[in-house]
């Protein structure tokens, strides 16, 4: 029916004007009226609903976990420059590699660069096929991300359909972020509900984007800026940005095409000066060689392009006085010295406390109560003390000492010789337990279990470790202050639902040092491959107790320190009772076994790379093949199935031809990856 299409077009136009052009032509009321009219029409005629209708932004049911998505080309990271000298060095390198160095006095033309803001958010990939959004994914480890399509669809600045019916597949990359005002509002609400605060807008955005329930993502005021794309045929980065904008995608308007290092440095200084007024987090500028042909010639080293660099803004600093130094007990029992400061403005926010990290750092800085210090806010909102400025004045206080008794429970504080940390040794220290409980309910997504709730169940002796949460009865919950029948019952349901959370969440929730989201996902996959999809939590814990650091380290993405901490933690007899209890209550959803074998074109194949690849390093390419079930080998033999030859391939290529082994180039390799 024509009117549905018309309404849709009008709404999409309004979205584009509002979110992409930042210049709305209709009022919010008019917009709502259009949306309501379309909703009514679609409710009466469900056959008119199209997947890219603006009414379908929040439509998908909550998903249990996120499906892994392999990126067409890896999502890379950038090298950093921290001062003007490093930017000049970058420019020099680019000119040298492109053969455009000339004595300064003869220098006629510099390199053209596109300068953009480096948005401090979360990198995502949006896939459009024939102009329609079909998939959205997180960056993940750069090679494999998570399918968060349903969540990204709720972001109004993400077009569900491009303004032009483009042919084939386009992969657009950008940064999802939370405007500073929305971040502050979110934290105010969380403080009122007694929930832990987000450290910075990036964390808040990351949390929103990975919500299992898209309705929760929709509640946050997320937006996006896009900055690159594969599948659009344009000769320069600046034309790419223009093209992306014309397609209806949101491009940050602050970009500029400049020539030479001096103009890059000037651009960065201007952006730095207006940083606080931007309304969104920016941690520097990104400098990119404009000509795509030159980008291709420059190529990559490891996982970073040689044609781009992130020029980071200097950290924000201010000076103030230290009023006190206190030890704060964290969830693992570690005592962290924290400086209580005379309030001071640092880069737009008021800072009252700053971390001193540990006792070694307190000694290194020689910071004492009464000192004037420099505090700094780097990428995170958690500020730190970086220097004492009046250390030689007369009448300074004494050196600060780590307390010998825990400030929370008065239990003994212990210190191992080989460790920096001091810990409260009392296993039932309420601070430790409280933090641990808070971390557990956060990671397990038990909504409504804020600090107000946790402190009550702790004080009443109902819960001493996180596993006890599952023993709480409806009667116990309704007996809590401020928990009426309805809210108690909601909370009860949420706790019950948490019993079946995905394994990675459960692993994060345990609060093992170094076991964060990324590592947990890697380990969950490893366990699923090893134990199968029906494994119980008990089997999981047994397996982890039986593993060695060496075995864990053999899993890509797990380093020696992480491997050691994890194995030690699971083997620690002090955790045994808690883990046994938890295993009785929780039956996590296991990830699916990796089904690479049949589907992948590389399964069981032996592949050799030779010459220089343009779009990835040889290590990355080999890793890709291995992750798809193939074998990457260094030399060509009769057993080799495939040789991928980059530029300058030599003897291995000759040998392959001699033996009649199939040889392909990188474009063909990309095509195979896509199948
Ligand atoms: S270009 C190979 N442009 O910074 C080129 N990245 O350290 C890769 N980012 O993961 C990225 N704003 O999340 C590019 N205008 C911008 C950016 C930007 C933010 C993030 C992005 C990337 C990280 C690179």
DSSP letters spanning 126-165:
EEEETTEEEEEEE-TTSSEEEB-HHHHTT-TTS-SB-SS-
pLDDT of 597 over the 50 cut: no
Question: What's the chain's average pLDDT?
Answer: 87
> 490 CA to middle of ligand 1, Å?
41
Instruction: Quickly state the pLDDT bin for 373 (edges 50, 70, 90).
Output: very high
pLDDT of residue 104: 56
pLDDT of 115 over the 90 cut: yes
Mean pLDDT calculated for residue range 399-412: 94
Ligand 1 atom at minimal distance to the Cα of residue 123: 13
- The tokens for 99 are 């053969």
Instruction: Quickly state the pLDDT bin for 673 (edges 50, 70, 90).
Output: confident
Regarding predicted confidence, which is higher, 267 or 214? 267
Q: What is the CATH number of domain 79-312?
A: 3.30.470.30
User: What are the residue boundaries of the structural domains of the chain, listed by start?
Assistant: 2-56, 79-312, 317-410, 430-500, 503-585, 606-674
| Least-confidence region, from 6-10, 331-335, 419-423, 597-601 | 597-601
Regarding predicted confidence, which is higher, 287 or 652? 287
pLDDT of 192 over the 80 cut: no
> 172 CA to middle of ligand 1, Å?
12
Q: 118 in ligand 1 pocket by Cβ < 6 Å?
A: yes
- The tokens for 21 are 């052009």
pLDDT of 517 over the 60 cut: yes
Regarding predicted confidence, which is higher, 57 or 352? 352
Instruction: Quickly state the pLDDT bin for 60 (edges 50, 70, 90).
Output: low
pLDDT of 493 over the 70 cut: yes
Mean pLDDT calculated for residue range 658-674: 86
CA distances from 549 to 50, 325, 509 (A): 52, 37, 21
79-312 and 606-674 in the same fold: no
> 78 CA to middle of ligand 1, Å?
7
- The tokens for 526 are 């490893």
Helix (H, G, I), strand (E, B) or coil at 616: coil
Ligand 1 atom at minimal distance to the Cα of residue 122: 13
Q: 228 in ligand 1 pocket by Cβ < 6 Å?
A: yes
pLDDT of 146 over the 60 cut: yes
Q: 76 in ligand 1 pocket by Cβ < 6 Å?
A: yes
Q: 175 in ligand 1 pocket by Cβ < 6 Å?
A: yes
Q: Which of 73, 74, 75, 78 to mutate to test the pocket of ligand 1 (most atoms within 8 A of CB)?
A: 78
Mean pLDDT calculated for residue range 86-95: 95
Mean pLDDT calculated for residue range 363-376: 93
pLDDT of residue 324: 96
Regarding predicted confidence, which is higher, 606 or 57? 606
Architecture of domain 606-674: 3-Layer(aba) Sandwich (3.40)
Q: 344 in ligand 1 pocket by Cβ < 6 Å?
A: no
Q: Which of 73, 79, 117, 118 to mutate to test the pocket of ligand 1 (most atoms within 8 A of CB)?
A: 118
CA 170 to chain centre: 23
pLDDT of residue 106: 53
pLDDT of 332 over the 80 cut: no
Q: 227 in ligand 1 pocket by Cβ < 6 Å?
A: yes
Q: 69 in ligand 1 pocket by Cβ < 6 Å?
A: no
| Least-confidence region, from 227-231, 304-308, 597-601 | 597-601
Instruction: Quickly state the pLDDT bin for 196 (edges 50, 70, 90).
Output: low
> 118 CA to middle of ligand 1, Å?
6
Report for 259-268, 273-282, 474-483: range of highest mean pLDDT: 259-268
pLDDT of 598 over the 60 cut: no
pLDDT of residue 152: 95
Please tell us whether the domain made up of 317-410 is placed in CATH 1.10.1060.10.
Answer: no
Regarding predicted confidence, which is higher, 314 or 645? 645
Report for 98-107, 193-202, 571-580, 663-672: range of highest mean pLDDT: 571-580
What residues have CB less than 8 Å from 458, skipping those under 6 apart? 430, 433, 434, 437, 464
- E-state strands within 561-612: 606-610
Q: What kind of fold does domain 430-500 have according to CATH? A: DNA polymerase; domain 1 (1.10.150)
Residue tagged active-site, from 6, 96, 118, 254: 118
- pTM (2 d.p.): 0.56
Give the pairing of strands 80-81 and 308-312.
parallel
Ligand 1 atom at minimal distance to the Cα of residue 228: 1
Mean pLDDT calculated for residue range 29-43: 82
Q: 439 in ligand 1 pocket by Cβ < 6 Å?
A: no
Q: Which of 119, 124, 138 to mutate to test the pocket of ligand 1 (most atoms within 8 A of CB)?
A: 119
Render 531-543 in DSSP notation, one character per residue.
H-TT--HHHHHHH
Pick the CATH number of 2-56 from 1.10.287.610, 3.40.50.150, 2.70.170.10, 3.40.640.10: 1.10.287.610
> 199 CA to middle of ligand 1, Å?
21
Q: 230 in ligand 1 pocket by Cβ < 6 Å?
A: no
Regarding predicted confidence, which is higher, 601 or 354? 354
Architecture of domain 503-585: Orthogonal Bundle (1.10)
Mean pLDDT calculated for residue range 451-464: 86
pLDDT of residue 50: 82
Closest protein CA for atom 12 of ligand 1: 118
On the CB side of 344, how many CA atoms lie within 13 Å of its CA?
Answer: 24
Mean pLDDT calculated for residue range 381-404: 87
> 669 CA to middle of ligand 1, Å?
25
> 200 CA to middle of ligand 1, Å?
18
Instruction: Quickly state the pLDDT bin for 162 (edges 50, 70, 90).
Output: very high
118 catalytic per annotation: yes
pLDDT of residue 505: 94
């Amino acid at each position: 029916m024509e009117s549905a299409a018309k309404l849709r077009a009008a709404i999409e136009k309004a979205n584009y004007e509002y979110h992409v052009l930042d210049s709305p032509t209709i009022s919010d009321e008019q917009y709502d009226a259009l949306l309501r009219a379309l909703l009514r029409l679609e409710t009466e005629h469900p056959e008119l609903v199209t997947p890219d209708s603006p009414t379908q932004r929040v439509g998908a049911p909550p998903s249990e976990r996120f499906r892994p998505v392999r990126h067409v080309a890896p999502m890379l990271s950038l090298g950093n420059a921290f001062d003007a000298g490093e930017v000049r060095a970058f420019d020099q390198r680019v000119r040298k590699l492109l053969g455009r160095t000339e004595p300064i006095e003869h220098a006629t033309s510099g390199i053209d660069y596109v300068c953009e803001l480096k948005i401090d958010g979360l990198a995502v990939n949006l896939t459009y096929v024939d102009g329609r959004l079909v998939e959205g994914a997180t960056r993940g480890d750069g090679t494999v991300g998570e399918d968060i399509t349903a969540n990204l669809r709720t972001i109004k600045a993400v077009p569900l359909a491009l303004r032009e019916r483009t042919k084939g597949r386009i992969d657009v990359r950008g940064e999802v972020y939370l405007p500073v005002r929305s971040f502050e509002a979110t934290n105010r609400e969380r403080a009122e509900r007694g929930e832990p605060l987000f450290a910075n807008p990036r964390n808040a955005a990351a949390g929103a984007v990975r919500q299992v329930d898209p309705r929760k993502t929709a509640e946050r005021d997320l937006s996006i800026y896009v900055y690159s794309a594969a599948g659009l045929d344009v000769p320069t980065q600046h034309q790419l940005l223009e093209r992306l904008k014309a397609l209806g995608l949101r491009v940050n308007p602050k970009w500029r095409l400049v020539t030479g290092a001096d103009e890059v440095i000037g651009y960065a200084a201007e952006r730095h000066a207006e940083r606080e007024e931007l309304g969104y987090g920016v941690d520097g500028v990104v400098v990119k060689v404009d000509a795509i042909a030159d980008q291709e010639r420059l190529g990559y080293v490891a996982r970073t392009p040689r044609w781009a660099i992130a020029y980071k803004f200097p950290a924000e600093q201010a000076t103030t006085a230290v009023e006190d130094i206190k030890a704060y007990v964290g969830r693992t029992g570690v005592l962290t010295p924290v400086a209580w400061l005379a309030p001071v403005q640092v880069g737009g926010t008021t800072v009252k406390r700053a971390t001193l990290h540990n006792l070694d750092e307190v000694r290194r800085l020689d910071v004492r109560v009464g000192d004037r210090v420099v505090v700094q806010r780097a990428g995170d909102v958690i500020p730190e003390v970086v220097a004492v400025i009046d250390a030689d004045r007369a009448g300074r206080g004494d050196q600060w000492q780590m307390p010998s008794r825990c400030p929370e429970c008065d239990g003994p504080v212990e210190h191992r010789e080989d460790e920096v940390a001091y810990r409260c040794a009392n296993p039932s220290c309420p601070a430790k337990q409280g933090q641990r409980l808070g971390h557990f309910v956060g990671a397990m997504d038990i909504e409504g279990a804020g600090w107000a709730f946790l402190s009550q169940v702790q004080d009443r002796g109902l819960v001493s470790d996180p596993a006890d949460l599952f023993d709480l009865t409806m009667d116990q919950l309704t007996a809590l202050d401020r928990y009426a029948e309805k809210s108690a019952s909601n909370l009860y349901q949420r706790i019950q639902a948490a019993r079946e959370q995905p394994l990675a969440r459960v692993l994060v929730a345990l609060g093992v040092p170094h076991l964060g989201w990324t590592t947990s996902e890697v380990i969950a996959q490893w366990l699923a491959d090893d134990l199968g999809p029906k494994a119980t939590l008990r089997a999981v814990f047994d397996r982890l107790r039986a593993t060695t650091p060496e075995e864990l380290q053999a899993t890509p993405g797990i380093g020696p320190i992480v491997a050691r901490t994890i194995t030690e933690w699971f083997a620690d007899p002090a955790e045994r009772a808690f883990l046994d209890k938890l295993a009785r209550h929780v039956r996590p959803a296991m990830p699916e076994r990796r089904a690479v074998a049949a589907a992948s074109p590389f399964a069981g194949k032996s592949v050799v790379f030779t010459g220089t690849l343009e779009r990835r390093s040889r290590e990355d390419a080999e890793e890709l093949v291995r992750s798809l079930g193939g074998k990457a080998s260094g030399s060509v033999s009769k057993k080799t199935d495939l040789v991928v030859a980059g530029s300058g391939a030599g003897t291995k290529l000759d040998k392959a031809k001699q033996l009649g082994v199939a040889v392909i180039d990188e474009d063909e390799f990309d095509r195979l990856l896509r199948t």
